[in-house]
Structure 1
Amino acid sequence: MGTIETIINGKVATLLFFHPSSNSFPSTLLQQLTKEINALGNNKSISVIVLKSSGTGAFCAGASFDELLSVSNFEEGSQFFSGFANVINAIRKCPKLIIGRIHGKAVGGGVGLAAACDYSFACTKSEIKLSEIAIGIGPFVIEPAVSRKIGKTAMSEMTLNPTAWKSSKWAFEKGLYSELFETIEELDFRLEEYTKELSSYNEEALFEMKKVLWEGTSHWENLLYERASISGKLVLSDFTKKALEKFKK
């Protein structure tokens, strides 16, 4: 089922997620991640959160294909995709700055998580892909977060070419990644240095800056769930069921 773990060092909390299927997300793990982001947002002893995943492979493979295949009705589908809406809204409303550690490839919802972070570090192997159209759905829930970072044109370029990987350099140039490194070791050294410095700043100023960064997104409170309903309907199609089976094989 995967795990969510929080490690606190000084004023920096590291939120670590893991799933054996390339750090993908079933609904239970999305619920746990949302709950933990909300809890850390209320923790007065920290001022910065690092979002990272386990291992040296993929950062996040997005939605769990096993769970998508098990969806049998519209309510189940909408509820599952609302899990990603919950996480993105939790990040958006969290009073702490959230720093992404994108050590490997990100697909679908994983790209959405990276885009939702306030600042992000990545490696040269951290390629990205939005593959949803190829399986009969679309990146509807995460689109606002992705477009906010890289723009609608770049987002559509990814979405309408769902089998092609975009390089980490492309993602960096478009603004998805804030800093790029050759190795994980170099990334982690800089990440520790950066978060230590960031957490030493005036917490009130950081909080006010967080609000500025997310200005104009209050409508996401409804928009992301409307988008989840679109995905919840499309995931029931024969096209999507067959495509998911093919991708699993």
Structure 2
Amino acid sequence: MDAFVTSTIKNGIGTITFFHPQGNSMPSAQLAKLTAEIEKLGNDTTVKVIVLKSEGDRAFCAGASFDELTAITDIETGKAFFSGFANVINAMRKTPKFVIARIQGKAVGGGVGIAAAADYTFATNAAEVKLSELTIGIGPFVISPAVERKTGTTAFMEMSLNATDFYPAQWAQQKGLFAEVFDSVAEMDNAVDTLATKLAGYNPDAMQLLKQVAWENASHWDILLQERAEMSGKLVLSDFTIKALEAFKAK
């Protein structure tokens, strides 16, 4: 299948689904579409709650598109690419609707950031997480505010420094990244539907105010995440990163 981002609305629940044939990785076009869908459902008065999910059963999101990373040749292009993840995270933060994330498989790099930016995150036992950015000479700068907000600095640094290691879903739950972890996709989907249905019946004004309270210390992220995107945009042009990406593609 070709890459896509789609959304549906049913009984007050807006569901966004994304897919990319390379492990649900995220090129710029995909990030822009995802941001637009989040903003669209956030502004739709018929939508009371948003569910974010990906297709497939092995990977939730493999993070940045390596094909696009290797094509970056200047700082502005690099900053623009990493700003795509900043825009998704900020859209999730700023939408007046609660965002429920459904994590059915592995999440790497930016995929961990998306999981962290959700207001409530369900996962299966297969939902291992990894921050691999340091292995290619950059860092998880754009996603760090969202991940640290959920897990704390200690867990964030543990993942960041052990950049070749996947951490199990149970670890992610213990650190606060995942709210609930299930043995099967069916059990997880039942829990997602149950919570989404409940939220769709609650007072939208109360939920909007509760979301504002939950995110009240993140009002500076519009600027902060763009600054972080510039950090990565510069580092992706370093000799270390260029060689690391070439080695990765040669595998």
- Is the structural similarity TM-score above 0.5? yes
- 1:39 aligns with 40
**Equivalent residue, structure 1, for 2:233:** 232
Distance 1:210 1:97 in 2: 7
The residue number in structure 1 matching 2:128 is 127
In structure 2, stretches of 5+ residues that fail to align are none
1:94 is displaced (CA, Å) by 0.3
Shift in Å, 1:191: 1.0
Does residue 168 of structure 2 align to residue 161 of structure 1? no
**Equivalent residue for 1:117?**
118
C-alpha displacement at 1:241, in angstroms? 1.5
How far off its partner does 1:247 sit? 2.2
Distance 2:83 2:75 in 1: 12
Amino acid at match of 1:40: L
The one-letter code sitting in structure 2 at the alignment partner of 1:197 is K
Using the size of structure 2 for normalisation, the TM-score is: 0.98
Q: Which runs of 4+ in 1 moved over 3 A?
A: none
Whole-angstrom distance in 1 between the partners of 2:206 and 2:248: 46
Is 2:230 the partner of 1:223? no
Equivalent residues in 2 for 1:199-218, closer than 5 Å: 199-218=200-219
How many angstroms apart in 2 are the aligned matches of 1:9 and 1:52?
15
The answer for the alignment partner of 2:172 in structure 1 is: 171
- Residue of structure 1 equivalent to 2:137: 136
CA distance in 2, matches of 1:116, 1:190: 19
CA distance in 1, matches of 2:248, 2:172: 25
How far off is 1:126 after superposition? 0.4
Quote the residue 2:55 is aligned against.
54
CA distance in 2, matches of 1:242, 1:104: 29
Q: CA RMSD in A?
A: 0.8
Q: How does 1:25-36 map to 2 (within 5 A)?
A: 25-36=26-37
What is aligned with 1:16? 17
Q: What is the TM-score when the length of structure 1 is the normalising length?
A: 0.99
Task: Give the deviation of 1:245 after TM superposition.
Answer: 2.2
How many Å separate the matches in 1 of 2:115 and 2:76? 27
Distance 1:108 1:233 in 2: 18
Q: Deviation digits for residues 165-209 of structure 1, max 9, x if unmatched?
A: 111000000000011100001111111111111111111111111
Counterpart secondary structure, 1:140: coil
How far is 1:246 from its partner?
2.1
Aligned pairs (5 A) from 1:73-88? 73-88=74-89
Where does the alignment leave 5 or more consecutive residues of structure 1 unmatched? none
**1 CA distance for matches of 2:81 and 2:188?**
33
2:223 is paired with a residue whose SS is helix
